[in-house]
Amino acid sequence: MKKVLLSLFIAISIAIPASAAAYNPSDRVETVGQALLTKNGIPATNVKFMVVSGNADNSNFAVNKTLNVSSSDLTYAGNDNEVAAVVASELGHVISGHASKGKVVSLLQAATNTNFTPTNQTAAALAQNYQSTKEEKEADVLSVNLMANAGYNPLAIIVVLTKQTGTYWDTLQGKPANADRAMNVYDYTTYAYPAKASAGYNCNEYKNFLAYADTVITSRKENKKLQSKVDKEMKKYRKNSVSQITKFKTRGGISGWDAAYGLLNGAE
């Protein structure tokens, strides 16, 4: 009997580490990242993926072909779909050329000896927040396309966003974290990839988000103008995002802003 129990204990000890091995999102970044590139037909030659601490700076992607991914963002990823959401977001910003756009503006300001200094700090802050949110949404939509084309579930973007800590005001309103962006992802996925939206995503975070989304959708049904506005926005997102990805591929993996920066920087 003792031998039987000992054998059983050894078998359990061997099986537990293999089945309970913790998922490490950082270890999956390279594989998931390459899949996002190749399955979308984006040039992947010499492209490297690096996990970094703090914010991910990809302003030099066009030069060094290295896509940095924040380890902080990866803490919200519990499977390959969610890792793809984090990586695709960075790719979305690169494809849109958001960082390069800032570099172009700086070069033009230096060339004309101008430096915009807002007189109203509150207005400047609001404008900056609006631009930041606009860019995040643009990157989110591109992420949906990249993930869907690569076989990942784009609804994972919503899960990663809502896992994060929400603002105090959002909490008071009963909204999930990043509710505006998450709703935009849901609307776009429903518009561009209805089968993906119908399939859903099996986790509590997504179920909680759907409870919020249902209230938004219900209110829209009572306001045809608002629904019409959302429909037009999704149509525009679809057209622009597909065009951006196509042009990014045609240029060999650089955005229009990257190309502009290269020309301006070389002309100095």
| Tens-digit pLDDT profile for residues 206-218 | 999 999 999 999 9
Which pLDDT belongs to residue 126?
34
Of the ranges 140-144, 145-149, 254-258, which one carries the lowest mean pLDDT score?
Answer: 254-258
Of the ranges 5-9, 66-70, 132-136, which one carries the lowest mean pLDDT score?
Answer: 5-9
CB of 174 closer than 8 Å to CB of 212: yes
Q: What is the mean pLDDT of residues 117-141?
A: 66
Which pLDDT belongs to residue 156?
98
Distance CA 78, CA 91 (A): 20
Tell me the pTM: 0.83
* Residues 233/234/235/238 CA torsion (nearest 10 deg): 120
Could you state, in order of their start, the residue ranges of all structural domains in the chain?
Answer: 17-104+116-256
Which pLDDT belongs to residue 266?
63
- Whether the per-residue pLDDT at 19 is higher than 60: the answer is no
Residue % of the chain over a pLDDT of 70: 79
Which pLDDT belongs to residue 35?
97
